[in-house]
Structure 1
């Protein structure tokens, strides 16, 4: 690992001169960068040993190419090393570097299972419906904790007592927070907005069969108007907290609350921080 860091540091020093040009050619989307890095490493390996790439893509680890499985693992280790170096040079986030390392291993291991193609297609469909436009919103699916639901109820009681509030859960997922708050505080109007089809559908079905007054909309919270809201709850991603805060500041009324689970707004001090439970993320409370 230290050798990888040393080589990556050397490459970073030699890329300063062409960085202005590379910044124009290099894609901004992280998933595009990841695909390019994986492809570049595979091209380099294919230039040295084309049979390795052919065997992997043809699912022929033991037969026509004559390559032993042990040899494939050696080339795979080289591939993981290369993509780790490239990801570090590209200054990708640390968690993407882990993905670069785990992804090739997962490909080889799944090939050994020889599962039917329908399994992969089903997994693709479920993943698509669950994460949908995460490449655009930069917000993956995060299920919330029961302790978080109870902490939100506590905050609403402290903020307004029995006075009815209009609450919006942005990125509402399966609807846990909205359904709980609607049940505990029937005087409030609790809405949830979710862009991914599968979680949204699940939340609508749950609300229908439970008789909940919570309302779930499929859409992008960025298109919503926060001016009508008393409280906004978010469990999103650190990548978008700055943008969310700008929208909150521009649209929400003075005296309203913005609550973020786990991810604070960068550069902004929260009015208070709640720790619902030992295994639950902190709640960062911002008073407008």
Structure 2
């Protein structure tokens, strides 16, 4: 029963994060109450730190991605500091909206905003050099489209398409691609993009969508095309080629040929 519940909640990481925050808060309040009855007065800053550490620990135990741990560690301490410094509520709301608009996909798809590193990008450019200059590439979750634009500049005869559904990220990426004849960004889910139209599908997602993405690749991509994933593997499907980037994020490029 518990495992099934956690699996269901895992598909709603934002809701799970809120639940873990509340559980940690209740535990700290109960501990504070017990210590008061025993004659121990604990400073508020210590209680805030305990709540943050406990919620991050619960997040880890529930299998959430590491960036969720950081959110748990900073959330309540951030609220406490804002109250201590008397930050206007409007600024807090604006900050929350900004984070949501930039990381919208992390709530439903469990895909945060990842940006391709320059070393990885250079290696990707080298891989594309082996393909015809008229290649067609789709970036599944293109983020701010920096990599997409630079690839389009490097291969002017090719066609480069990005899809993105985080609202603010899409707007910034779309503006970045204006005036580029061979580069376009669409407000579209990667699940709605027809992969059969492309020679290369590139992605930098998270472990969560990779099994479903492989099913889509098998169903849609034509023979001779390839999937290139930044860092994240497909469970039980060994990549035909793995290129280690040796950067601080331990990035690698994984390739599957159709």
Aligned CA distance change for structure 1 residues 125 and 73 (closer, same or farther; 3 Å): closer
2:220 corresponds to 1:221: no
Counterpart for residue 5 of structure 2: 23
Counterpart for residue 218 of structure 2: 249
- Cα distance between partner residues in 2 of 1:278 and 1:33: 32
RMSD: 3.0
Instruction: Please say which of residues 142-151 and 184-193 is displaced more in the overlay.
Output: 142-151
Counterpart for residue 32 of structure 1: 15
Counterpart for residue 15 of structure 1: none
- Cα distance between partner residues in 2 of 1:88 and 1:130: 23
2:132 corresponds to 1:168: no
Counterpart for residue 14 of structure 1: none
- Cα distance between partner residues in 1 of 2:93 and 2:83: 15
> Out of 236, 246, 252, which is 1:267 matched to?
236
Counterpart for residue 202 of structure 2: 233
User: Does the 8 A contact of 2:52 with 2:75 survive in 1?
Assistant: no
- Cα distance between partner residues in 2 of 1:274 and 1:231: 16
Unpaired segments of 5 or more residues in structure 1?
1-17, 51-67
Query: 1:63-95: CA deviations, max 9, x gaps?
Result: xxxxx8x62133334434654565466x33362
Aligned CA distance change for structure 1 residues 278 and 82 (closer, same or farther; 3 Å): closer
SS at match of 2:177: helix
Unpaired segments of 5 or more residues in structure 2?
34-40
User: Does the 8 A contact of 2:49 with 2:77 survive in 1?
Assistant: no
Aligned CA distance change for structure 1 residues 26 and 195 (closer, same or farther; 3 Å): closer
User: Does the 8 A contact of 1:147 with 1:277 survive in 2?
Assistant: no
Counterpart for residue 160 of structure 2: 190
How many positions carry a matched residue from both structures?
250
- Cα distance between partner residues in 2 of 1:84 and 1:168: 36
Counterpart for residue 137 of structure 1: 109
- Cα distance between partner residues in 2 of 1:262 and 1:23: 29
Query: 1:18-72: CA deviations, max 9, x gaps?
Result: 647x73997342322221222133334445657xxxxxxxxxxxxxxxxx8x621
- Cα distance between partner residues in 1 of 2:104 and 2:221: 28
- Cα distance between partner residues in 2 of 1:155 and 1:135: 32
- Cα distance between partner residues in 1 of 2:224 and 2:2: 46
Counterpart for residue 5 of structure 1: none
User: Does the 8 A contact of 1:183 with 1:212 survive in 2?
Assistant: no
Report the CA distance between 1:114 and its aligned residue. Answer: 2.0
Give the alignment's TM-score, normalised by structure 1. Answer: 0.75
2:150 corresponds to 1:180: yes
Counterpart for residue 75 of structure 2: 103
User: Does the 8 A contact of 2:13 with 2:108 survive in 1?
Assistant: no
User: Does the 8 A contact of 2:202 with 2:228 survive in 1?
Assistant: yes
Query: 1:233-265: CA deviations, max 9, x gaps?
Result: 001112211111111111101110100111122
User: Does the 8 A contact of 1:179 with 1:212 survive in 2?
Assistant: no
Give the alignment's TM-score, normalised by structure 2. Answer: 0.83
